[in-house]
Amino acid sequence: HLAGGKTQTDARSDVYTAGALLYHLLTGQEPIPVVDRLKHRAGLFGGRALILPRALNAQITPGMEACLLRTMELEPAERYQSAKELLYSLETGYVPPPLRYPSGPNALPQQTKSRPVDPLATLGLADTPARTPPAPPTPRPTSGPGINRGAPTPPIERPVQSPLRRTGQPGMMPGQIPTTSGPQPQFPAEQKGATAPRLPAVRPQTGPAPRHPGFTSRLRFPDAPDGGQPTSRTGPQPEAPTPSKPDALLPFPGGRKSLPRAPAAPGPLITRRRLLIGLAGVAVAAAGTGGAVYFINRLRPPYTPLFTFKVDGVPVNCVAWSPNAPRLASGANNNLVRIWDAQHGKLDLTLTGHTDFVEGVAWAPNGQVLASASADKTIRLWNPFQGGDPELVLMGHTDTVYSVAWSPDSQFLASASADQTVRIWESTEGKLLRTFSGHTDAVYSVAWSPDGLLVASGSNDGTAKIWNPNQDGLPLHSLDNHSGLVRGVAWSPDSKRVATATHNKIVTVWNANVSFPPAYTLSGPTDALTSVSWSNNGALLAAGSSDQHVTIWAAQQDAPPKTLTGHTGMVSMVAWSADSALLASASSDKTVIVWRKQT
């Protein structure tokens, strides 16, 4: 008996055990223990969420995943009620819908969390409206395969591990961020220190707002006229070619007597008409050749893979370029950070130390330090040339750390976490300088402006926020056009604009000094966006999405986007190289692809 004799096991416990065994066999990993999942659901410290099976093995079908999640429901009444039901589901691929909860005096009390966990939050695939956690279910029949159709995917949570033990204590920072001095961003006086304004419910420019609750988890820009509004640009018209003059006839060397001219042999004369006809034929041939070349170039993809790196058969979550060499860092679900030689297509270095999934990587602008963020709630700073143990471990977050970003001088680090905070660290000794708590849900992306004055963050609460890293307090701006959960943020190279990638398949570009309206939006992907990257030359924006594609837009031109195909799983991260010549993409298909533009 369990719970002091009030509860006892039955066939549904065996159903859970069978589901856990299938989970292990299909993913190669043990499922998160029930106790940790219950803690996570209750919002207690140390809780961890069950990881979606397809996040660990992309070959698992959606139907099989739904079946596994049904067998491993925390509430027995929501599982299959007998082995016969489970067998029927495995044989037919049909998963029954969940039971409806009763209302009235017997209903369970509401959970303390203000937002329910979204079923497909981790992969960014949610498409159902949020609902309040319901009361206990009514009993359901246990005999016969009488099962109703139309099951939604069960809820899932994000995994977290216990914090690592930190050796050594952080000291004081020699160059701590000033709190009252230093360069400050210029904003209207009435907005400083004020609460983030409540924005009007304006629909995105490309479609209606989504009905989903959320899902889990990076700019040189030429000045544009008209307040930064994009304008189509045309280059200078080429000048008409000047026809070349025929070589002048050389005079006969002086002193020589010319020989008597022999009578010319009779032959056809080249008339003006024949000359024009001949020239027309040459022009037609040249036009045909040019048309063939144009047609062939149109058939070629705009970008082709230069290298494809395979990462130990596990999903890859993040990727980042070194600023001064063709080296690439990636983090994956094997808890490892890999550094690749993108010039020769080989593995350079493997960094070990994290005890859970690596969710984010970022290279310091000086190229000397690599930072990694993990579900083990820590940030680690590495020597990317020597390897070995991390130089420093930053601890303080209470949940998964999804993203890290460096200040331009490589002295400070910003981090984003599922604990709903953005934190600012000193990178020399790991001192925590500031904690921003304006978001109301998990924060999945953070980016530091190239001028060093601002930090942007994107959250599961559907907003992006802009912070002053030198001051405590509320955000300077809250960006929200009701286009879905914000998974990625990226700055333009001139620090004047912020791009956000949302669950609603839209990249929104904002002017950094105002909260609304956005400058413009970009569309094209067919599924939820996971990340966004702005090229260092300011000309291109790239985004990864759950539709397995990478999409590239011209940042300031009204031109159709280019779509890169090659991945077979969700594209979790995209990043431009420092010279904007290469694009890297990480995917749940267990690969990193380096793309090169066709010439």
Q: Summarize pLDDT for 13-43 with one digit per residue, the tens.
A: 999 999 999 999 998 888 989 888 988 888 7
Per-residue model confidence (pLDDT) at position 158: 42
Per-residue model confidence (pLDDT) at position 311: 87
Helix 83-92 and helix 62-71, axial crossing angle in degrees, nearest 10: 170
473 pLDDT above the threshold of 60: yes
Task: Tell me the two tokens of residue 319.
Answer: 């990727």
Pairing of strands 392-395, 378-382: antiparallel
Distance CA 569, CA 204 (A): 27
Phi and psi for 401 in degrees, rounded to 5? -95, 120
At 149, the pLDDT band (50, 70, 90 cuts) reads very low
93 or 223, higher pLDDT: 93
Count H helices and E strands in the chain, helices first: 7, 28
Per-residue model confidence (pLDDT) at position 141: 45
Number of alpha carbons in the 13 Å side-chain half-sphere of residue 449: 22
Distance CA 550, CA 574 (A): 8
Number of alpha carbons in the 13 Å side-chain half-sphere of residue 529: 34
Per-residue model confidence (pLDDT) at position 208: 43
pTM over 0.85: no
Pairing of strands 455-459, 346-351: unpaired
Omega before 315 within 30 of 0, i.e. cis? no
Per-residue model confidence (pLDDT) at position 291: 52
515 pLDDT above the threshold of 50: yes
* Mean pLDDT of the 459-468 span: 95
Number of alpha carbons in the 13 Å side-chain half-sphere of residue 490: 31
* Mean pLDDT of the 471-493 span: 92
* Mean pLDDT of the 407-431 span: 96
DSSP state of 588: T
Query: Is 551 within 8 Å of 148 (Cβ atoms)?
Result: no
262 or 25, higher pLDDT: 25
Phi and psi for 284 in degrees, rounded to 5? -65, -40
Which residue, among 22, 3, 5, 6, has the nearest Cα to 14 in the 3D structure? 22
Q: Identity (one letter) of the amino acid at 152?
A: P
Distance CA 103, CA 137 (A): 9
366 pLDDT above the threshold of 80: yes
List 509's β-bridge partners, or say none.
499, 520
CA 142 to chain centre: 44
At 257, the pLDDT band (50, 70, 90 cuts) reads very low
Task: Tell me the two tokens of residue 406.
Answer: 């460096």
Distance CA 128, CA 132 (A): 13
329 pLDDT above the threshold of 70: yes
Determine which of 165-174, 308-317, 504-513, 526-535 has the lowest per-residue pLDDT on average: 165-174
Sheet holding 464-467, edge to edge: 443-448, 455-459, 464-467, 477-479
Per-residue model confidence (pLDDT) at position 73: 92
Per-residue model confidence (pLDDT) at position 285: 55
Distance CA 497, CA 474 (A): 20
411 pLDDT above the threshold of 90: yes
